[in-house]
Amino acid sequence: MYKFRTLSVNDKLSLTERQFGLGRVLRFTNLDELPQVWNILTGQMSWIGPRPLPIEYKDRFSAEQFKRHAIRPGITGLAQIKGKNELSWSKKFEWDLQYVNNLSLLLDLQIWIQTIVLLFSFKRDVSLTEKEL
């Protein structure tokens, strides 16, 4: 998955300390997601679907949670429009599984419209304070 780097590589610092000026702007405007369009064009991702997670998390999934991998990951999805990083991991998985179990064009359109609304609301980025899975 391609993304713009928004944090310095110094892993001795906290996530908030690793953030730099341009990184803050990219996260605030969601432009850090723009390179993922390449992943969509190459067939690795979809516009809508569960967000991809780091590969090292795969052993932590229950059999039910692993179902989120039955479809191609997306840039946006139900978990993103329902609260993104303000949600607990279990709630994110619930939304992801709800999407996987109820795939439809209407649901995709609803997610797409709500994503556009959220994009222009410029909500505060809380991803750097999120607890690890």
Which structure tokens are listed for 84? Answer: 């993104």
Q: Torsion angle, CA of 53/80/33/28, rounded to 10 degrees? A: -120
pLDDT digits (tens, 9 = 90+) for 100-116: 999 999 999 999 999 99
Is this structure's pTM higher than 0.85?
Answer: no
The DSSP output letter for 51 is P
Greater confidence, 106 or 123? 106
Query: What is the per-residue pLDDT across 50-95, written as a single tens digit (0 to 9) for each?
Result: 988 877 887 888 888 888 888 999 999 999 999 877 888 889 889 9
Tell me, what amino acid is at 22?
Answer: L
Q: Residue 110: its pLDDT value, please?
A: 96
pLDDT band at 46 (very low <50, low <70, confident <90, very high): very high
Q: What is the pLDDT of residue 17?
A: 77
Whether the per-residue pLDDT at 2 is higher than 80: the answer is no
**pLDDT of 123 above 70:** no
Q: Tell me how crowded residue 111 is: count the other CB atoms within 10 A of its CB.
A: 21
Look at residue 61 in the predicted model and tell me its pLDDT.
Answer: 83
pLDDT at position 129: 56
